[in-house]
Amino acid sequence: MTSQPTLTRTGNGPEKPGGPGNPPDSGLQAGLKNRHLSMIAIGGVIGAGLFVGSSTGIATAGPGILLSYALVGTLVVLVMRMLGEMSAANPTSGSFSAHADRALGPWAGFSIGWLYWFFWVVVLAVEATAGAAILEGWIPAVPQWGWALIVMVVLTATNLVSVGSYGEFEFWFAGIKVVAIGAFIVIGGLAVFGVLPGADSDQAGLANLTEHGGFLPNGAGAILTGILLVVFSFMGSEIATLAAGESEDPQRAVTKATNSIIWRIGVFYLGSIFVVVCLLPWDSKSIAEDGSYVAALDSLGIAHAGQIMNFIVLTSVLSCLNSGLYTASRMAFSLGRRGDAPKAFARTTRRGVPRNAIVASVVFGFVAVFFNYKFPDSVFLFLVNSSGAVALFVWLVICFSQLRMRKIIQAEAPEKLVVRMWLYPYLTWASAALIVFVLGYMLTDTEHNGRTTMLLSLMVAGVVLAVSFVKQRVAGRRGDADADADADAGTDTGAARDGARTG
């Protein structure tokens, strides 16, 4: 019978925010206000992928893409409930990586932490390039690489100032996204039901859900393919649990974010996609050519729909960049605190900013941007594909961590279970099974690059796992050597004492 790990480990406990007057290297500070956390939680589920990637899903599954979004949305709600349970009981900047470290072992925390960091530094390059393309279209005098550099430098500076600076920028970025998508749903909904005055909405109506080949024009199997296409647009839902560690009331922030995720996904994802597929037939050429949201706005006769959407997408890109840099740096900070990364990553400035972790993350982001411009079809494509399945790996680790952490928390601090996973452990096991199924289904997907993404992601995960086991083995040998040295020292001391007594 093996003993269960405890909630805290000596030297590897949760990182607690320091006060505003604490000296350097004291740790993170509670610089995020409740309004920051609320908007980070709301905006975290609205990624740029929702605006620019949904057209492929609609073309693949037709109106049935709603079922794909509903299934993935349900999975995200369940996974975030599990994460909320663990994070409310033990708020930490390492979030699921720190929980996996305690529940499953150091190998799990090390591996998933570095994979998650890798995912976000690649995302930095993807989003910087996407934002630069939009900005170059507006101001072509500055080359695209120049815009990518400007965007990265500005947001790096923002994160280096203080966590409050990050929170303030994200508050406004997320606010614009929320207002924009809310307005889209209201205006589009009125058009769907024929009560929008002055709108050219002859094609709009609920009939678009069943006409043009039916609700599932490409068969029920297209729902599974749709899942593969939309699942990665949900990455970012967990950011609120990482940021909670630097808030005024971490437990309250995590609880609020966890309890509100159902309506956030329901409104922003299902609500907006429902409006899109009702405004236009799913097989409309404009959806494929212009993008789903631009095509939907154009169908209402709204002037400059493309530029309006470009502005919204740019805001989403900047938000994703801002949060991606914050998330990567905090994960690096947590890994440094636990001894899984260079100790320099765990050092903070007087403002509680992990400067070294931020700089290291953005340097790798710059390198990835360089690869995107220099080797887009080889090195950068490898980076993107090899990080593509990390979201599913993270969710799977959260499931298994929660299965063990529930027992640990109940045994040691049951009063900390202020958020509880529904129907534990059955829904947790069901969620894990669904994730494994999706991972397996990716291996059969050759049409949308799912197989390549899965194989490369597994290869990178295997390398990281191997490094973690080697690190553990080396650490174990050092520990044994130190123990032997201590024992030898104790023996020599005892012998010296005996000799002294004899003399």
Closest CA to 70 of 246, 267, 237: 267
Per-residue pLDDT of 347-376, as tens digits, reads: 999 888 999 999 999 999 889 988 988 888
pLDDT at 44: 67
Q: Which residue has the higher pLDDT, 50 or 147?
A: 147
Does position 1 have pLDDT exceeding 50, yes or no?
no
Per-residue pLDDT of 14-71, as tens digits, reads: 444 444 433 333 478 888 887 888 788 777 667 667 777 788 899 999 999 999 999 9
Does position 161 have pLDDT exceeding 70, yes or no?
yes
Does position 497 have pLDDT exceeding 70, yes or no?
no
DSSP letter string over 226-274?
HHHHHGGGGTTTTHHHHHGGGBSSHHHHHHHHHHHHHHHHIIIIIIHHH
pTM above 0.85, yes or no: yes
pLDDT at 454: 93
pLDDT at 377: 85
pLDDT at 2: 40
Arithmetic mean of pLDDT, 457-476: 91
- C-alpha 500, offset from chain centre: 64
pLDDT at 21: 38
Arithmetic mean of pLDDT, 1-19: 41
Average pLDDT, the chain: 85
- Tokens representing residue 78 in the block: 């369940």
Arithmetic mean of pLDDT, 279-285: 91
The secondary element (H helix, E strand) that includes residue 182 is helix 163-192
Per-residue pLDDT of 414-435, as tens digits, reads: 999 999 999 999 999 999 999 9
Buried b (16+ CB within 10 A) or exposed e, 445-463: beebbbebbbebbbebbee
pLDDT at 9: 39
Read off the pLDDT band of 276 (50, 70, 90).
Answer: very high
Read off the pLDDT band of 490 (50, 70, 90).
Answer: low
pLDDT at 4: 37
Arithmetic mean of pLDDT, 334-357: 92
Q: How deeply is 129 buried, as exposed, middle or buried, from its count of CB atoms within 10 A (0-12, 13-18, 19+)?
A: buried
Q: Report the percentage of the chain scoring pLDDT > 70.
A: 88
pLDDT at 67: 95
Arithmetic mean of pLDDT, 85-112: 91
Does position 204 have pLDDT exceeding 90, yes or no?
no
- Tokens representing residue 98 in the block: 């720190």
Instruction: Give the separation between CA 93 and CA 34, rounded to whole angstroms.
Output: 16
Does position 11 have pLDDT exceeding 60, yes or no?
no
Arithmetic mean of pLDDT, 366-387: 88
Straight-line distance from the first to the last Cα atom of the chain, in angstroms, rounded to the nearest whole number: 50
Arithmetic mean of pLDDT, 286-311: 85
Read off the pLDDT band of 482 (50, 70, 90).
Answer: low
Closest CA to 99 of 310, 254, 300: 254
Arithmetic mean of pLDDT, 80-107: 91
Read off the pLDDT band of 297 (50, 70, 90).
Answer: confident
**Cα dihedral 325→331→335→337 (10° resolution):** 90
Q: How deeply is 350 buried, as exposed, middle or buried, from its count of CB atoms within 10 A (0-12, 13-18, 19+)?
A: middle
pLDDT at 18: 45
